[in-house]
Structure 1
């Protein structure tokens, strides 16, 4: 296959990025960041989560944040939900999309959410049913697709099974997450190829962390497989809880620049995106990348 002419970037910095920062970012700062991301042309933005604030205090203000979000006429705001209670909170807050999460690793699933992969998928049944009634699209995340901190390597076939099941129950898009950033171009390509054999390529998204500095190389290795959606976080927000001091999500600025170099359109204004990066790194008290 050839490279896609256009890639849609899903900006996950306000949720996946900030929830992994060691400090709690004020709602006003989050609003300023999101406004700048919208101004940069990002249409798909994950802004928060309705998981327990006791476990993830960094996103305790999601409902209050959503009540004050700037208009996003060209796209929609998404939030992560763990169960039906979380979905109902997201619906009440006006979420345009919700996301659910499963793991490709049994050990990680049990350590992270205290249940098996099969049990986690069963928990989503009422969420999917309620989302269908409400007309709210559901995105599915698969974690540890290129490696697990407990099991090590994860077989592409295991990832494909979980991705296929998420698509089967109604997720319109499946995001493949290299949670610990252990992937290489070869393992990333093998994983995506296995998933693409079970679900349509246009429903696959790439969500790579830059722990070893290979995120861009891993993305490049998969772009000619028919994938045209990439998750990224402005300023590389976040981190890896299993690798202290390691970078987090691949930086949106780097992804936009690399795709531009390859002749792939994103619709993102790199200058305004850089401004958003400077804004949030200044708020966090660290140098811009």
Structure 2
């Protein structure tokens, strides 16, 4: 089981339903903790803004007191922290299946929703097994999104470091025009011809285009075409499969394949 306690914020303005939610998760209170209970959306946002990483899951009543509720509140919570998962509980869908309502919640950013048990069921807010499973599943989704987010931050940091290393320092008007062209070309997917005498920085320009483009997280593959013997250029560029010719004991990935979705710089 978990070696971590799932931290929940509960947004609910009826004490009766706060008690029912607590009772429903009490079976697994060694793994789940309600860290904060509030009855209005503004208080919830204030708490989340102060400590955006404190909570893993928000369980919220769709209809709470105050103007800030429902889909608007879901969107504002997601604006603070995209990885927080939101479970909606509501009385609106008793005895009906409202697919448009469900679609609206999911579009706003909710993970799951359920219909509250009628008031004559005093112990639980919803079927305990399903409710608890939704909490554990929501936590798994948050954990995966956090891993993706942290990986993306690391990639962005690496790209920023690469751009700093490949920084073009200039004050002249022609070079400023070049930098503007680099930014403009980085926003396109067209093939680009970079011309200039040897040693003038063609690869530097290519690097800057690559790391400013949407391909920046993929490979930048520079090729010194003059260093490849004519009889090897096909296998270097396109690779080959095992057994394709005598001596091909293993498959070899071509440079075009290595640069797929990235940038291939032919020098």
Do they fold alike, i.e. is TM over 0.5?
Answer: no
Q: Quick one: higher RCO (CA 8 Å, sep 6+), 1 or 2? A: 1
Bigger radius of gyration, 1 or 2? Answer: 2
Taking structure 1 as the reference length, the TM-score comes to 0.29
